[in-house]
Amino acid sequence: MICYSIFRNSYEKNNNFVMFFFKIYAFASVNIISWWGYIDYELISQLSLECKSKISYDEYYSIKDFLRRYKKHNYSIIIFPAQIYNLISQEINDKGINLNDIRNEYHPEILNLFNRQVYTKNVAIYSLGITGFIYNPLHIHIDRNDEVKNIFQNAKDKKIAVIDDPIESLHLISQSTENGNDFEVEKNFNNLIKGTKYLITNDTIKIVKDKNFAFAYSWVGTSLKRMSENPHLKFTSIPKLSYISADFIATLDKNKDTECVAKKLASKEFLDPVLTRTFYFSPYGIPEKIQDKKYLSEYEDFIDNHHLLKWLPVLKKEDYQKKINLWEKIKIDMSNKI
């Protein structure tokens, strides 16, 4: 799941504050990294006061960017995509504070979902989401029972977008591929996008405004944000194509300041406004006050029908690297054809 596109426009506004913030907390006691725009800077200041801690806050806009930063710096708290857990599991294994008391407060159905997997005690859920299609009903209609091939075929001569995520997008492509080898996957993707005006991106701000926009395969939070800005657009998740994805929060040291900050970051009190603002789902269930009716509808549908969806697979380290390599090859080959 990625929040970069949602908050891209806020960069200029916050940039000066970020520089000032980093200068003040150059020797912070709690160092956090998260998706770009996930956490409001005012909330970081609030956490700093409540926990009486100096906090530095770093951000990333892609999985590749996270892995680069993670290897380079020593963080106290990391918020990261669940699908890369196995890439870093040995390094974070029980390093930090036990978060079981946080987990036990989750909505029963969400806790049941989480417990299907085995994670170390210093890891908890930060947010949940699903993938789906945001589309322009003037050009295309997407039904919950549609097949991948039909969706792409119905968008011929129109503009489409696919999220720049190796796991999410390759799973979508593989749904219409009988043979799962790399050559067939890339061949199938080329067949799917043939005749469309395609874009691989996590930033859908501009494309959804285009008069020829048909659909974008994206995360629910990003899609609902775009819909709040463009009310004529619609979103649908397709159980056989969509996956439950999550972002995790993990503590990497046992410092008391880290414990205070992490438990507040992962609390219902903190998450409800953050996730409501970003249109993602909370492990604690539906917040009491949601004004956006489309967001509430998707939230209720997720709680009621999550059993129809599959978790986005958490791959072994070597398998994940293969997916990354394949996706990068596909993007390079496609860019060479433009």
pLDDT recorded at residue 21 = 44
pLDDT recorded at residue 28 = 63
Residue with tokens 């060479």: 336
Say how far apart CA 307 and CA 112 lie, in whole Å: 11
pLDDT recorded at residue 291 = 87
Q: Inter-axis angle of helices 220-229 and 293-305, to 10 degrees?
A: 160
Q: For the chain, give every domain's residue range.
A: 4-128+244-307, 130-242+314-337
Report the chain (338 residues): mean pLDDT per 10 consecutive residues.
39 43 55 88 90 93 89 95 89 90 92 85 94 96 93 96 89 70 85 92 94 96 95 92 89 95 95 91 90 91 80 79 88 68
The CATH number of domain 130-242+314-337 is 3.30.2290.10: no
pLDDT recorded at residue 26 = 46
The CATH number of domain 4-128+244-307 is 3.40.190.10: yes
Instruction: Report the length, in residues, of the chain.
Output: 338
Do 130-242+314-337 and 4-128+244-307 fall under one CATH topology? Answer: yes
Local structure of 294: helix, strand or coil: helix
- Residue 137 structure tokens: 């009903």
Say how far apart CA 2 and CA 81 lie, in whole Å: 8
Say how far apart CA 309 and CA 290 lie, in whole Å: 24
pLDDT recorded at residue 135 = 98
Could you tell me which residues come within 8 angstroms of residue 311 by beta carbon, excluding any fewer than 6 positions away? 113, 116, 117, 243, 244
Spatial CA neighbour of 242 closest among 324, 303, 179, 312? 312
- Our measurement of the distance from residue 48's CA atom to the centroid of its chain's CA atoms, rounded to an integer in Å, reads 26
Are 90 and 79 within 8 A, CB to CB?
A: no
pLDDT recorded at residue 185 = 86
Spatial CA neighbour of 217 closest among 160, 170, 301, 299? 160
* Planar angle of CA 147, 152, 158, nearest 5 degrees: 150
Say how far apart CA 76 and CA 253 lie, in whole Å: 6
Q: Which amino acid makes up residue 161?
A: A
Say how far apart CA 70 and CA 327 lie, in whole Å: 21
pLDDT recorded at residue 180 = 62
State the DSSP code for 61: S
Q: Which residues pair with 34 in a beta bridge?
A: 59
Say how far apart CA 217 and CA 69 lie, in whole Å: 27
Say how far apart CA 210 and CA 230 lie, in whole Å: 11
H/E run at residue 236: strand 234-236
- Residue 12 structure tokens: 């200029």
Spatial CA neighbour of 31 closest among 14, 16, 53, 11? 53
